[in-house]
Chain A
Amino acid sequence: MSDTILGIDLGTTNSIVGVVDSGFPILLADDQGQRIIPSAVYYPDGETREVLVGHHALRMRCLEPERLVLSAKRLLGQREGSGQLSLQMGGDTLAVEEVSAHILAHLKSIAEKRLDKKVDRAVITVPAYFNDAQRNATRRAGEIAGLEVVRILSEPTAAALAYGMDKLEECSKVVVYDFGGGTFDVSALEMSEGVFQVMATAGDTLLGGDDIDLALGKALFSMAGGSDLAEASPMVRSKFLEAARTAKENLSDEFNCRVSLPFYDGQKSFETELTRAQLDDIALPFIERTKGYCREVMECAGIGNEDIDAVILVGGSTRMPKVRELVAEFFGRDPDVSQNPDEAVALGAVIQAGIISGVLQEILLLDVTPLSLGIETFGGLMNVIIPRNTTIPVKRGEMFTNAAPGQDTIKVSVLQGEREMARDNWCLGQVHVQCDPGVKGSARIGVEFSLDADGILNVIARDTLTGKDEILEIRDVAVEVDDDRVEKMIAESVDHAFADMNERIWTEAKMKSDELVPAVEKALELAGDLIDDKEREDIESKLRAVGDALTGGSLDVLKKANKALDLSTEHLASRLLEEMLDS
C-alpha cells in the first residue's frame, strides 16, 4: 500500500487533486496542464463509447446536454421517496455516487500519472454542513473509485488550513466565508500555535452560484419572450444557463456585457446588454440569505466583529463584487483575498492528508459536527444527544429501557437538525436495540452515539447486564412499508380528494375574509385623514360585499369580493407604511 495520501476537493462545479511533495502541498495538473477539472461527466449513447470526465465532458454541453451530468454533488445523499435518489440516463438508472466516483477516478489517474506510482488513499472535502447521509455517500463514491477515504474534511476548515499554513506562530480568530457553485458554508475558527480549532459553523447545502445562474437564466429567457425556462427543451435550457453563467462571470470584471444567443432553438435568436446592476438585483436575495448564517456562527462562537482578525473568502461565487461588498459591510472589514478561491480548499485537503500521513507534524485540526444529533422521543419531539458545534471525535451515551412489557426490540429513530419536532429534522435511520423481554422498565441498555473525525455516526449498544457490545446498524426508515398497504392508502386518499377539495377551497376563501375584514376595519379606524370620504365609502361598500358573500355561500362571489376589497385597500396600506417610516 502506498503511503501517499491524496488531498481532493470534490466541488460542485470544479474538482482538484494534490499531494504533499517534499513538505510542500502542491496541486496536480492533467495532461493538458489544467489543475482545475470541471465536475462534469458525459455518458455517451452506445456501449462502446467511453465515459468522459472534466473538460472533455463539458464540451458536450451544447451538443448533447441530456447525456451530461453537472453539479451531481447537489444530489449526493438525497432521498427520493423511500430510497436513494438516482438519475435517469437514457434507459439506464445511475446512482449519484457512481457519477461522483467517475470524477474521483479521473482525479486518481491524474495523480498516478504525475507521481508515477499507484495511490489508493485520499482525504476528500465536503461542505461543512453536509449531513451523515451526504458524508457517507461521498465516502462510498471514493470507494467505488478505488480510494480508501481516510478523512472527510469540511471545506471552510480546509481553506483555513491553507490560509494559516504560513502563519503558524500567530494566534488569531478567522471567519471563512465559502460561497461555491452549489453550497454555502461559514465557519469561525481559532488558530493558535499550530492548532486549528473550529468554534462554530453554519450553512446551506442548497445555496450557491448555480441558483444565481438559474435566476439569471430565467430572467434572460423572459426577456427573450419565453414564458418559463423550466419548460423549455434541455438544449435551450442549457444554452440560457451557460449564457447566464458567462455573463455573471464577465460582470465581475466589467460593468456591462453583451449576451448573445443566436438561433438558440434553431430558429429564434436573442441578444441583449446586461449591466452589473441588473445582475446584482437578481443575485441579491441569494446573497442576503448568507447573512443569517453569518449571524448564527458569530453568536454560536460567542464572538463579535472586533474579535475577528480576518475574513477569508473561498469559492467561485465570492468573485462577485456584490458578495464582497456584503461581506465587507457585515463584518466591518475588507475580506482577505490572499487565498485563491478556487484552490484554497484543495490545498487544505492536501495539508490534512499530510498531517494524517505524518509528513506534516506541527499542525492539528479540531473540527466540529455542524448539526445536532438526537433521537425521537414521546410526542414526536427531538431529544438532542450531541449538540451542534461539538468538537469531534465525540461520544455520548444514553440509557434505554423497554417501554412495554414483553418488548424485545427498542426502535430508536436517529435525527440530525435543530428543529424541536422530530419530523422537521433529517432522519438518518433507525437503530434496533435488542433487549430481554420482561417487565416494563426492566431492561438496561446503554447506547453510545459516537461521531468519528469524519462527522459520521456509529452506534454501539451495551447490555449492562451481560456487558456485551454490539455495533448497531442504522437502517433506512421506510424499509418496512408494505407495498399493498401503500397502494391502498393512495387509492383512499384519491377518493376523498374530490370531496375534500371543494370544502378546502371554500375554507381557504373564508380564511382570507377572516383575515381581511378585521384588518380593513382596524385600518379604517387608524386612517384618519389619510383617505378622503370617497375612498372610505368605496372601501366600506367592498367590506359589506364580503359580508354578503360569506352568507351567500357562492365560492366564486366570495373570491371576487375578497379580491375587490384587497385591491381597494392597497393605497391605504402603502400610505400607512409610509406614515410609519416617516415618524
Chain B
Amino acid sequence: MKVDYFVTLGQARRADLDDDAIRKDFQRLSRKCHPDAGGQLKEFEELNQAHAILSDVVSRLRHLYELEFGKFPAATGAFSAQAMELFAVVGEVVSGANDYIHRKSSATTAISRALIAREEEGIQRSVLECCGEVRARRGELLSRLTDIDSKMADDRDSARVLVEESCHELAFLAKWERQLNECMATLVL
C-alpha cells in the first residue's frame, strides 16, 4: 500500500499547489514530529519525503499520477512542438557556450585572450535569452495545472494525458535550466 504524501503533508490532492503553503505546513508539522521536538524519526523521515516530493512540481505530478492512475509510464520521446523547438535552441546555445568556455580557458596568450573576449558578451546574452525562453515555457505549463485539477473529476482520460505530458516536459525544462545556469555560472567566474 503506497504512501499518500498529500495526506502526510495535509494537502489537497491537486496538481496545483501553493509553494509557500506547502513549506509552511511542513514547518508546522515538523514542530510536532521532529525527533528534537520529541517525535519519532520514522515519522519525520516520511514527512520530510512528503515535503521533498510535493514541493517539486515534477515529482508531485508523478506522485499524483501514481495515486490516481497507476504506474507512471516512461518517456516515449513524443514531444510537443514547442518542446522540440526549444530543445534545438537549448542544445545549440549550451554547446556554443561550452565551446566558448573551453576555448577561453585554453587561451594562454594575450592575443588569443583578446580575440576571445570579444565574443563573451554575445555568448552571455544568448544564454540569458535562452534561459528566459525555458522559464517562459515552464510558466505556461504551470498555469495549466489548474486545468488538470478541474478535468480530474469528469474527464479523467484528458487529465491523465495532461499529467503525463506536463510531467515529462517539465522534467526536461528543469534539466535545461540547470545546464544553462551552469554555463552562466562558469561564464561570470
Contacts and interface: CB of A to CB of B under 8 A. Distances in A.
Interface residues of B, number: 34
Interface in B108-147: 108-115, 117-118
A460 interface: no
A356 B36 contact: yes
Given A296-B185, A393-B41, A520 B111 contact: yes
B185 A576 contact: no
B114 A523 contact: yes
B118 A519 contact: no
Contacts of A385: none
Contacts of B108: 512, 515
Given A391-B48, A395-B45, A569 B111 contact: yes
Contact of A193 (B27, B37, B189): B27
B35 interface: yes
Given A522-B115, A569-B111, A572-B111, A192 B24 contact: yes
Nearest to A452: B41
Contacts of A394: 45, 48-49, 52
B107 interface: yes
Say whether chain B's binding surface is mostly helix, strand, loop, or mixed.
helix
Interface in A365-412: 365-366, 390-391, 393-395
B36 A576 contact: no
Nearest to B42: A395
B111 A523 contact: yes
B117 to A, nearest CB: 6
B138 to A, nearest CB: 13
Interface string A556-583: 0000000000100110111011001000
B45 A573 contact: no
Interface of A: 190, 192-195, 197, 292, 295-296, 299, 355-356, 364-366, 390-391, 393-395, 453, 512, 515-516, 519-520, 522-523, 526, 566, 569-570, 572-574, 576-577, 580
Nearest to A296: B185
B117 A364 contact: no
A580 B110 contact: no
B90 to A, nearest CB: 18
Interface string B165-181: 00000000000000001
Given A365-B36, A566-B109, A292 B117 contact: no
B63 interface: no
B60 interface: no
B34 interface: yes
Contacts of B44: 393
B112 A580 contact: no
A194 B109 contact: no
A580 B121 CA distance: 10
A192 B30 CA distance: 12
Contacts of A299: 181
Contacts of B112: 515-516, 519
B106 interface: yes
A260 B36 CA distance: 53
A395 B34 CA distance: 14
A364 B30 contact: yes
Given A292-B185, A515-B107, A391 B31 contact: no
Contact of A366 (B34, B52, B109): B34
